[in-house]
Amino acid sequence: MARFKIVGATPLVGNVKISGAKNEALKAVALSLNIKNKLKITNAPQILDVVNQGKILKSTGSIINICNNNEIIIDTTYANNFDLTDTIAGKLRASIVFAGPLLARFKSVKLPYPGGCLIGCRSIDTHLDAFRQIGAKISEHKRIFSINIDEFHDSNIILKEKSVTATENIVMFASAIAVKTKIDNCAIEPEIIHLLLNLQKAGAQIDGIGTRTLIIKGSQNLKLKTYEIITDRIEAGTFVCAMISSGGEGEVSPYPADQLESFTRLIKSTGANFDIIDNKAIIKQSRFPLKPFSLKTGPFPEFPTDLQSPMSLLALRAKGVSLFVETMFENRLSYLEILRKMGASIKIIDRQTAEINGPCKLRSANIESLDLRSGITLLLAATMSEGETFIEKAEIIDRGYEKIDEKLKLLGANIERINS
């Protein structure tokens, strides 16, 4: 395992280029199983999760080449394996989205329960329930589940919750079979909309894009030469928080303003010196203290759960009490205990509600990444802290942020990666 050494406090100054969306690239890799030609994925982030998703795809008999220019070349022509139990699928949350494409291609799939960050209970019940509604038979044994279907037929599905990955899973399945599927209670995150547009381009007939109800007439002859990944809105928002809270200035681009409306409103409410021009977020040095705020996460278009923890950095610069309510995952406020260890004044009301009383000065500490989003938050908190901070398990942050230490160095951060 590697760790980061950070010496703060350093304002982050300069321009940062945002990578392609992690949450779309992982699904595009799985989708390739239903594309009847060689597929090139462009603007793919060079992150650990994409590498691991590629390893899982390779185990199906597919050919995959992850290039250094943010391109991935995939050929699934000779894919012949739908049993992923002997792969790293059990360690990667996104492995669950192989279920839909493999079921559409082979009428069978066998997967271990997916792993991922320990941010709370993320059951796959919504996925399995959706597959049961299309007539699939599901068996489970020792955390391995098998899904089988005898024939494809028209189906109506009501998702148990607005789950992003369950929506993507059943959408990819439905788009690759030549019947009609109606899906209600869909998630509508931007990455899902772009996935649907690409499936439509590949030959699936899809009505209702952008709404909670989709009607899909699929095709077993989907063809798509290039899939360009959209900008990672979570990384963009994270760097905006980083620059503002560090007392820095610069540009964050591309900045997908239409996907970050709730985030942008909240940032502006703090009084931060922040503006959007064309596709760039322009940050100028803010006058501290900022104004306190209230934040409540929810499904898109509400405030994104993945940007909840980076917003704590702004709460540390605000005068007064900022309220955080996390409705998506019950353990996602765990990182606040570590910020408290670093000197933050925090009242944890319950597992999903907390108050941050600012302004606070942080001190250095030896800490550990708990999960991807809290990991990046603690790393950025270290750039605000006096002294030398070590953050263990750098690989957790590498899962979702491309060359994070290199990007921070370009902004003036004193950061070093230490490989053990």
Between CA 197 and CA 203 the distance in angstroms is 10
3-state secondary structure of 287: coil
49 is written with which tokens? 């999760």
* 8 Å CB contact between 10 and 413: yes
Q: What is the biggest distance separating any 2 CA atoms in the chain, rounded to whole angstroms?
A: 64
Q: What share of the chain is helix, strand, coil (3-state, %, to 5)?
A: 35, 30, 40
- Which candidate in 117, 186, 241, 360 is catalytic? 117
Residue type (1 letter), 305: T
Q: Mark whether 186 is an active-site residue.
A: no
- CA dist 111 → 84, 98, 328 (Å): 5, 9, 25
Strand partners, 280: 277
> What is the rounded (10 degree) CA torsion for 34, 35, 36, 37?
-150
Residue type (1 letter), 329: F
DSSP annotation string for 335-359: HHHHHHHTT--EEEEETTEEEEEE-
Catalytic sites, residue numbers: 117
